Chains A and B, each alone.
With several copies, the nearest count.
Chain A
Amino acid sequence: MNKLTCQIHAILFFTAEPQSFDALAKLCGVPVADIAPAVQELVQSLQNSGVVVLVQNNTVGLAIDESMSEFIAAMQKESFAKELSKAQGETLAIVAYMEGATKTDIEFIRGVNSVYSIRALVARGLIEAKGNGRSVSYVPSIDLLREFGITSTAELPEFAAQSAKIKQLLTQKDIQ
């Protein structure tokens, strides 16, 4: 692939969103006319790779190949039916007892990178992200509370004592 094609591939992978030819031209600093041939090269290169390039109305995006989509859907369905992993259970417990926990709060208590557990819990609708950028924090979803048969996390066993304990532990986050 030539440099421009690589850049387009990288942008589409990085953003996971379709991009207009105009936007790509601006990002890559090239004339719009250069985009179409590069996109054509990308279509060629990713043929028969499990990932396809979709082009429509001067907009381009990546997607899972038709032949794979059933497989991916089944995979996703299965992952949602599975028990939560130990990591996911821990992450959920922290968010339940500390509404508004951030990624770094969770990682401090768990001592392990938790980005994928958080992502999985969001995808399963068990927790929700609030805010944006660096200040994103997580709260239990309404559906989860309903599932638990409670109207507020305050009804969780020993809520007051345990959430105070978490806050106390987090005061050491800056120390260490």
Chain B
Amino acid sequence: MTTSEQFHIQHETFQGPIEVLLEMVEKRKFFVNDISLAAVTDDFILYIQQKGMTPDMVGQFLAVAATLILIKARSLLPNLELAPEEVESITDLERRLALFEIISHIQIDLSKQYGKKILFEGRPMSRPIVFSPDPHITKDTLLPILTSLFSNVPVVSKAPVARVYKTISITEVLATLEDRITKALKTSFNDIVVRDPDGDTKTQKVYTIVSFLGMLELVRRGMVSAEQESGVFTDIMLTKNHE
């Protein structure tokens, strides 16, 4: 395979997070709802870890993963109160799934119909060519027109292969998650300890719970060890296990 073919294939088969998620739900013959989404959360996180992805792809997937974890947290803790923007991120995701479902079905129909029965164009009537220059166009005016076009051409980075295939390994993904969770945990615990009267404690609580779930996930996979020094309200220490 040549370099360009590889890129082409990578490009065309790239599935976005919405498509991947919808496939997971449909594979289980579920309807899209909180319960089915909570059920596929683990699969989805696993998918991110197992697929070689570029950094920006990982970013798009993690945004969806964050909402899934929120849905899962809500299904585990029914009394959990969510901030308005969190509720919105959930309904948003559900709506995107519904829209994508419709579009992907239409796409199949359109691809079947495309180019099968063309309404052909007529040809223009032949007319004698009359040299008719535009006095505004001289040998010097074409250059700026041309160079202004160059900026419109999408340019793949100079080393496309290196960029496209720079995958994030499982460890890297988890290292990022771990890093974020550790930081999140510290800040959120500080918030609780300090009991800032003006702070949005509801959001913080949810964030703490979600981080906590994420941390448990990492512990379950043996990626990190969690240790609470002494007493219920002391800080939880996270240490990364070495392979």
Contacts and interface: CB of A to CB of B under 8 A. Distances in A.
Q: Judge A-B direct contact (beta carbons within 8 Å).
A: yes
Interface of B: 4, 7-8, 11-12, 14-19, 56, 60, 64, 88, 91-92, 95-96, 98-100, 102-104, 106-111, 113-127, 129-134, 136-140, 142-143, 145-147, 149-150, 152-156, 160
A141 B133 CA distance: 11
Given A80-B130, A83-B136, A111 B60 contact: yes
Contact of A110 (B16, B106, B123): B16
A76 B96 contact: no
Contacts of B102: 162, 165-166, 169
A30 to B, nearest CB: 21
Contacts of A143: 131, 133
B138 to A, nearest CB: 6
Contact of A87 (B12, B95, B140): B12
Given A83-B114, A175-B160, A148 B139 contact: yes
A63 interface: yes
Contacts of B99: 108-109, 166, 169-170
A80 B115 contact: yes
Interface of A: 13-17, 51-52, 54, 61-66, 68-70, 72-73, 76, 80-87, 89-90, 92-94, 96-97, 108-113, 115-116, 119, 122-126, 141, 143-151, 155-158, 162, 165-166, 169-170, 172-176
A144 to B, nearest CB: 7
Given A162-B106, A162-B146, 10 more contacts: A13-B122, A14-B120, A16-B122, A17-B123, A80-B130, A86-B12, A111-B100, A149-B116, A157-B139, A169-B102
B142 A96 contact: yes
Contacts, number: 252
A148 B112 CA distance: 10
Contact of B129 (A69, A73, A89, A125): A125
B30 to A, nearest CB: 19
Nearest to B129: A125
The secondary-structure label for the interface of chain A is helix
23 contacts: A14-B123, A15-B123, A52-B119, A63-B121, A73-B120, A81-B132, A83-B134, A90-B103, A93-B145, A109-B96, A112-B16, A119-B154, A124-B130, A126-B132, A144-B133, A146-B119, A148-B138, A149-B113, A158-B109, A169-B98, A172-B154, A176-B91, A176-B156
A90 B143 CA distance: 10
Given A86-B107, A162-B146, A14 B4 contact: no
B115 A108 contact: no
Given A83-B136, A111-B18, A112-B16, A123 B121 contact: no
A145 to B, nearest CB: 7
